[in-house]
Amino acid sequence: MEVKAEHKIQVKKHDLVSSYIEEGKKFLKRLLNNKGAAIGGLIFLIFVLIAVLCPYISPHDPSYINSEIRLLPPNDVYRMGTDGFGRDILSRMIYGARLSLLICSSVVTLSTIIGSFLGLISGYYKRVDFILMRILDGFMAFPSIILHIGIMAALGPSVRNVIMALTLSYSPRMARVVRSAVLVQKEQQYVEAAKVLGAKDLRILLVHLFPNCIAPVIIQATMIFAYAMLSEASLSFLGVGVPPEIPSWGNILSQGRVHIRRAPWITYYSGLTIAIVVLAINMFGDGLRDVLDPKLRK
């Protein structure tokens, strides 16, 4: 009898894994059939590969200064020309992709963790909901760029401080999204059944509620990624973000502003790259929203 019971358990586990794999295949198929998500995801994947392989595909040292080749237009040796210090713009753009990916990924990860925790607590416990939401509303009351500049002015320009400033700005947005989903889900019957069976609050939050909030969290995360990229470029452009010696798209755009009449290609390449990546992320996020929405699956 024990052998038969173990065999039935193994069969059930195998069937459960198979069902998960099948659902994953269906989700991937729907995602690939969505043109916006497929195109946006492909463009974003290309930039991810560029960021990962930047030490191997960069034609020159991005920090090497050569005053003899200042402001060269695009040519066979320097495909995107050189900047005011004689540095290769293409190499700096390639390394700037890695920095942007690092900053945006860190901001999305931290904002998702902090915002999800605050949203779960606020949506589930009514006693702390009012106080916590008013504090988060206070952060959201400030215009994002003003809040970023104020934090950077207090902490100083560095990559770590940029990540901290953007995380503090975008965590409240994630928290409100998670809170809204929790307020809807906690009234469902499966939550009441878990309480009747004696499940603790921590288990209800992590096992029952949060998995049902994944869809809006993923969509909000893609939006935060795009916002973080624009904000990082804005801070670097204003001179309060990433230090100017570190290659970043915002720094390249800021340095090109000084020579925009003589060397407009510096501004064109950096600005166009930022626009393309942000557009690709928004396309992927919109497509992902359509795929995850049960009303639009048919």
Mean pLDDT of 11-32: 66
With tokens 């809006």, the residue in question is: 216
pLDDT for position 294: 56
| Mean model confidence pLDDT for the chain | 84
Cα 100 from Cα 233, distance rounded (Å): 9
pLDDT of 173 higher than 70:
yes
pLDDT band at 153 (very low <50, low <70, confident <90, very high): confident
Domain boundaries, the chain: 36-60+100-296
pLDDT for position 210: 84
pLDDT for position 4: 52
pLDDT digits (tens, 9 = 90+) for 103-115: 999 999 999 999 9
- Domain formed by 36-60+100-296, architecture: Orthogonal Bundle (1.10)
Cα 171 from Cα 132, distance rounded (Å): 13
pLDDT digits (tens, 9 = 90+) for 204-237: 888 888 888 888 888 889 889 989 988 988 888 8
pLDDT digits (tens, 9 = 90+) for 263-293: 888 888 888 999 999 999 988 888 887 777 6
| Percent residues over pLDDT 70 in the chain | 90
pLDDT for position 135: 87
pLDDT of 22 higher than 80:
no
pLDDT for position 45: 92
pLDDT digits (tens, 9 = 90+) for 103-149: 999 999 999 999 999 999 988 888 888 888 888 888 888 888 888 88
Residues 6+ apart with CB under 8 A from 115: 170, 171, 172, 173, 174, 175, 177, 178
Cα 56 from Cα 98, distance rounded (Å): 13
Backbone Cα Rg of the chain: 24
pLDDT for position 34: 82
pLDDT band at 16 (very low <50, low <70, confident <90, very high): low
pLDDT digits (tens, 9 = 90+) for 26-81: 767 877 788 888 898 899 999 999 989 988 998 888 888 888 888 888 888 888 88
pLDDT for position 110: 94
pTM: 0.85
pLDDT for position 12: 53
Pair of tokens at residue 132: 């916590």
In 3D space, the residue among 288, 179, 272, 171 whose CA is nearest the CA of residue 228 turns out to be: 171
Mean pLDDT of 178-202: 83
